[in-house]
Structure 1
């Protein structure tokens, strides 16, 4: 939580993207290195999931599936899960924390980001819609239930900047949309069409 208001939306934007991108840049090499040391195990519908490090189902995340397939190759199929090496666990948890932090709600960095890009009023609407979308997703994929509960306990209100009227420049808008796209890559499951293309 920020202790004092930002001077303008540009400053709010710059701070909001710094943490997630640094975390992502650190997590990816750790995850790739760790996946190289990880083992493929049989997929078990009862135990394989996104928080079982001895049997992770990578298909819950588009980005994780792509990285796992590129790293493990033909050894990884849709009938396989991954027993993560400790280094991979560190990178994997970094991705999860990055994704949670980028959810566009309230005082999370994602909330600051949409506030800076679209203004406070629109960011409140985006925050409310996001909470309900995560809730719907949690009804289909139970691993998202803790996140859905957390978001509904979290305020969608963000502190306004001292100058909350001036808009961002085009470069910041592009970086902002790329950052939100990164959230989708981490959070959304692997589409079946892309999985077929990857021979997964």
Structure 2
């Protein structure tokens, strides 16, 4: 979550209020216990402390309602019944939300290193934006299983045999870039609604 929100702050110039809205909406996807673990993470605490210190806090927050988005994803039904474009959009959206992955991270998932178990999906991202001692790294992301199989980004991963995880929906011999992945995510996320509240 920290990487995703920090990326939006730096590259998309998201305001503090926008970041807080995304944080609240994304947090609702997790259980109470998972939210507690995230909230106690040092990186999480330091990130929001730094953002808060550098921003003027408004008392007018937009509440992001992801229910229309979730309803749409659920309405797509089983993965086997979707066309390739729908399946690709759903995969990009769920990886972005459940794994807090940037578009460029999703682009660089090496599917040959993907590990799938009944409980989780383990992804390896090659040379993400983060570096260690100035050198490229491999970033490992683990996404736990969700109670609804329709909201899991890994229900059909075992059927993919190519290296790049996300492919072009009209030519599966080609992978797609982060801009297209971003469009796939936004095509579903745009269904979320916002309302202003005073807190």
Quickly name the TM-score band, shorter chain normalised. under 0.3
Q: Which has the higher helix share?
A: 1
Query: TM-score normalised to the size of structure 1?
Result: 0.27
Q: Which has the higher strand share?
A: 2
Larger radius of gyration: 1
Query: TM-score normalised to the size of structure 2?
Result: 0.27
